[in-house]
Amino acid sequence: MIIGDATRHLPPEVETRYPEVPWAKMRGMRNVLVHEYPWTSPRTLWDTATMNLPPRLPALERILAKTHPNSKK
């Protein structure tokens, strides 16, 4: 949920500059968790956390380093 919430506060130019990141899907997953959590499949949550998110982490870390150079991991 935190990642989805954070994407809602990104300047539009960040999303435009990094189209390889599925920003809308991340926001969508947040919305599913917040509004439909009782009906969300545990398998969907597990797959997102273990299969979908890890390949995105290097790109997200690079973006964070470029947009917020003084932030810590």
Tokens at 42, concatenated: 């545990």
**C-alpha to C-alpha distance for 21 and 36, rounded to whole angstroms:** 24
Catalytic residue among 8, 17, 35, 62: 35
Respond yes or no: is residue 43 known to be catalytic: no
Respond yes or no: is residue 17 known to be catalytic: no
Catalytic residue among 8, 17, 27, 30: 30
For residue 58, what is the enclosing H or E element? Answer: helix 57-67
The phi-psi region of residue 48 (left if phi > 0; otherwise alpha if psi is between -120 and 50; otherwise beta) is alpha
The catalytic site residues sit at: 30, 35
